Amino acid sequence: METVRTQALTRRFGDLVALDQLSLAVEEGEIFGLVGPDGAGKTTTMRLLTGILEPSSGEAWVDGLHAVRDAEAIKDRIGYMAQRFGLYPDLTVQENIDFYADLYEVPKAGRGERLERLLAFSNLTPFRRRLAGNLSGGMKQKLGLACALIHTPRVLFLDEPTNGVDPVSRRDFWRILYQLQQERVTIFVSTAYLDEAERCNRIGLLHQGRLMACDTVDGVKGLLQGALLEVRCESPRRAAVLLRAAKIGNVALFGDRIHVLAEDADRGRSSVEAILRVEGLACHGVDVIEPTLEDIFTSALPSGAA
């Protein structure tokens, strides 16, 4: 069952096309990741799906409701955690959750039990009386998630929820998301972290407002045509410049290694070794490797891959 669906969804701000003909579908109980760099259109997509913005053209549905015509009704069925979630620093953890419970008109009957469950769920019980302004970045994000869940939404929208959060807190945050998924909550999350994208059931790669690919992580990786070579050599920065100038394929520097996307593995390896030999740079190895999502972003996808 589709919980989120968009059809040619487009949003313009003057001459800027922030989102261009986005069409995708997200199944119930799925963790779907919208992945892309800053300015790709992730936040615009979130605001369109949650009824905050109206599209310039195209349509969207959330939990069977139209994102424009049923915008008010959608708000009762979703939780939305923006990049800068509206926590009140001068209220305690519990007071923040109570405040959002009032906003969502959560019935008083059973509210206490739900609050206790959310505090335990997010490991915030020991900090329930701490001011939100005194929480660490990771705990603030978990409090924001608890506030977004107080009314038991069917669909959860998270806009770069772990941006700037330490690795341990990011891991804890995702543990909570997996628990929510077991309860059949549909999670639509945006991120610029490619390692986080690996945690999603499916992902959509967004670049300059356009959907480049939409599939499982392995499916997206499979879109990369050709052979990906990892080059270990002397002076990798200089070598990368030389290989780009030779136009033997897409070249990207990854620390002390160089990734080259070549049409053919054997011909690519021979070309790399010959170029480095002519320039007097020692080559320590050229191996065929499996692509990562970062390779997808740094290499041109085949025409029509999305």
pLDDT of 301 reads 45
Over residues 197-213, the mean pLDDT reads 93
- Strand spans (E) along 234-300: 250-254, 257-262, 283-288
* Cβ atoms of 147 and 100 closer than 8 Å: yes
The token pair that represents 46 in the structure block: 């979130």
The token pair that represents 149 in the structure block: 């869940």
Give the pLDDT confidence of 261-281 residue by residue, as tens digits: 999 999 999 999 999 999 999
Query: In the predicted model, is pLDDT for residue 66 greater than 80?
Result: yes
Query: In the predicted model, is pLDDT for residue 306 greater than 70?
Result: no
Domain segments of the chain: what residues? Answer: 2-221, 227-290
Signed CA dihedral, 35, 37, 41, 44: sign only:
positive
pLDDT of 292 reads 86
Give the pLDDT confidence of 123-176 residue by residue, as tens digits: 899 999 999 999 998 899 999 999 999 999 999 999 999 887 888 888 888 999
Same fold: 2-221 with 227-290: no
Rounded to whole angstroms, the Cα distance separating 41 from 19 reads: 6
The answer to whether domain 2-221 has CATH 3.40.50.300 is yes
Query: The domain at 227-290 falls in which architecture?
Result: 2-Layer Sandwich (3.30)
Query: In the predicted model, is pLDDT for residue 85 greater than 80?
Result: no
pLDDT category at 177 given cuts 50, 70, 90 is very high
* pTM for this predicted structure: 0.84
The token pair that represents 150 in the structure block: 């107080």
Rounded to whole angstroms, the Cα distance separating 304 from 201 reads: 23
pLDDT category at 302 given cuts 50, 70, 90 is very low
The residues, any chain, with a CB within 8 Å of residue 117's CB and separated by 6 or more, are none
